């Protein structure tokens, strides 16, 4: 296993942790900066919009750079953004810092995936990309609960100091270990953009947006839901985030296996499951054990969609896999922003935290409808067929 792959996985771990850990720290940040929970939720929205907007622009801005230099530059932006988060003295500065950090996210994963695949023989490329994304999974399993626990004990800024340190280690690794290749094929942006024709690719990206909106309408406010409705202590929230991380990991594994067999059927089943489980959570959230079980099932269902959505968007945009993969990450984070905003709106309107899962369920139903339209229009070319790679 090339050491470069481990460095890419470490980079993914740092980026994933800084994106998701804010959800566990939301009550602490809101209290410290004197803003409401929905107001603090905009920090999730701001990051997500930074990714969605930054992904295509940063991909184009770095398209003529050697991939190693592009990744090093993007990690530099990540470090600066997290450093600003760690020293932010007020809400506005923290929001700016979150957006700066987000700019590198989409392009790093898009370029990093290409680099990971180039480090191994052709028959191991999928495994290499999966190893890089293992860092993102570990960010949910370990980074978020540990970062939340640290923030609760030593202050939320301490978490961003630690993530900054991890970013510096990753940067040094990228500089010293990642090979600099001079035979890289330059990206033809005109050809890539020309491949974005047809309804299939845009319907697929819409599926990703709605899926992510459903997931983050709930995930963004899971800490206040657990604290105010379920009655979980701050330490209990950390353990619940670990449980959710395990569910996300299990879902990612199951989703990949199911999508290899029946792509369309997997997406339909996952979105239906998300709608049902989110609805159930609106009732079970008042009791500890039922709430914990429901959240684990929700996390498993939610992340089962991730590999299927990635395969789906590349299938419809196979002439421009690099660009559509980056756009899909942007779509995921656009949905993140939309979901965080919708969840915050439900709370701000005084409907209560228990109505947030119902909003997530509605968004999952919309994703299900778009999925049915997408595959019915594709007809016999893709049907509810086995995924193609």
pLDDT digits (tens, 9 = 90+) for 218-270: 998 998 999 999 999 988 988 998 899 899 888 887 887 787 778 889 999 99
Q: Is 311 within 8 Å of 207 (Cβ atoms)?
A: no
Average pLDDT over residues 309-314: 80
pLDDT at residue 248, rounded to an integer: 86
pLDDT at residue 376, rounded to an integer: 85
pLDDT at residue 385, rounded to an integer: 46
Q: Is 234 within 8 Å of 285 (Cβ atoms)?
A: no
Give the confidence band of 386 by pLDDT, cuts at 50, 70, 90: very low
pLDDT at residue 8, rounded to an integer: 93
Q: Would you say how long the chain is, in residues?
A: 389
Cα→Cα distances 211→119, 124, 174, Å: 32, 29, 33
d(C-alpha 268, C-alpha 364), whole Å = 10
What angle (nearest 5°) sits at the alpha carbon of residue 324, between those of residues 271 and 245? 45
Q: What is the mean pLDDT of the chain?
A: 87
Q: Which CATH class is domain 1-186?
A: mainly alpha
Q: How far is CA 95 from the centre of its chain?
A: 18
**241-252: burial string, b at 16+ Cβ within 10 Å, e else:** bbbbbebbbebb
pLDDT at residue 306, rounded to an integer: 82
Question: DSSP characters for 113-145?
Answer: HHHHHHTS-GGGHHHHHHHHHHHHHHIIIIIHH
Token digits of residue 199: 């309804």
Give the confidence band of 371 by pLDDT, cuts at 50, 70, 90: very high
Q: What is the pTM of this model?
A: 0.77
Query: Structural domain boundaries of the chain?
Result: 1-186, 188-382
Q: Which of 130-144, 162-176, 370-384 has the lowest mean pLDDT?
A: 370-384
Token digits of residue 55: 């992904």
pLDDT at residue 389, rounded to an integer: 40
pLDDT at residue 182, rounded to an integer: 58
d(C-alpha 194, C-alpha 196), whole Å = 5
Asked if the model's pLDDT at residue 380 lies above 60, the reply is no
Token digits of residue 49: 């919009």
Domain 1-186 shares a fold with domain 188-382: yes
pLDDT at residue 198, rounded to an integer: 74
Give the confidence band of 330 by pLDDT, cuts at 50, 70, 90: confident
Token digits of residue 235: 């330490």
* Residue 350 backbone class (left: φ over 0; alpha: ψ -120 to 50; beta: rest): left
Give the confidence band of 167 by pLDDT, cuts at 50, 70, 90: very high
More confident residue, 291 or 45: 291
Q: What CATH fold (topology level) applies to the domain 188-382?
A: Growth Hormone; Chain: A; (1.20.1250)
């Amino acid at each position: 296993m090339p050491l470069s792959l481990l460095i890419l996985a470490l980079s993914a771990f740092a980026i994933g942790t800084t994106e998701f850990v804010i959800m566990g720290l939301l009550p602490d940040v809101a209290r410290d900066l004197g803003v409401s929970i929905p107001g603090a939720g905009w920090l999730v929205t701001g990051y997500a919009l930074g990714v969605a907007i930054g992904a295509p622009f940063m991909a184009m801005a770095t398209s003529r750079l050697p991939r190693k230099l592009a990744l090093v530059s993007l990690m530099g932006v990540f470090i600066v953004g997290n450093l600003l988060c760690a020293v932010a003295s007020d809400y506005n500065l923290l929001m700016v810092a979150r957006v700066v950090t987000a700019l590198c996210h989409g392009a790093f994963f898009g370029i990093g995936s290409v680099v990971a695949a180039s480090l191994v023989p052709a028959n191991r490329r999928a495994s290499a990309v999966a190893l890089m994304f293992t860092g993102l999974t570990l960010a949910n399993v370990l980074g978020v609960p540990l970062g939340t626990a640290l923030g609760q004990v030593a202050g939320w800024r301490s978490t961003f100091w630690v993530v900054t340190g991890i970013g510096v280690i990753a940067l040094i690794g990228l500089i010293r270990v990642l090979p600099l290749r001079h035979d890289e094929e330059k990206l033809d942006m005109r050809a890539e953009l020309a491949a974005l024709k047809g309804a299939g690719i845009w319907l697929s990206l819409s599926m990703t947006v709605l899926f992510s909106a459903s997931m983050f309408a709930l995930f963004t406010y899971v800490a206040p839901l657990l604290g105010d409705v379920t009655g979980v202590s701050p330490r209990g929230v950390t353990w619940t985030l670990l449980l959710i991380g395990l569910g996300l990991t299990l879902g990612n594994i199951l989703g990949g296996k199911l999508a290899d067999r029946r792509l369309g059927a997997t997406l339909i089943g996952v979105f239906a499951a998300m709608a049902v489980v989110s609805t159930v959570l609106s009732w079970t959230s008042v009791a500890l054990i039922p709430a914990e079980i429901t959240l684990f099932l929700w996390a498993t269902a939610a992340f089962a969609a991730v590999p299927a959505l990635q395969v789906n968007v590349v299938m419809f945009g196979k002439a421009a896999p690099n660009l559509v993969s980056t756009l899909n990450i942007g779509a995921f984070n656009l949905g993140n922003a939309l979901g965080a905003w919708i969840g915050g709106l439900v709370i701000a309107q005084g409907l209560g935290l228990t109505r947030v899962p119902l909003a997530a369920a509605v968004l999952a139903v919309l994703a299900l409808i778009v999925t049915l339209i997408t595959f019915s229009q594709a007809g016999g070319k893709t049907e509810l067929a086995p995924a193609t790679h």
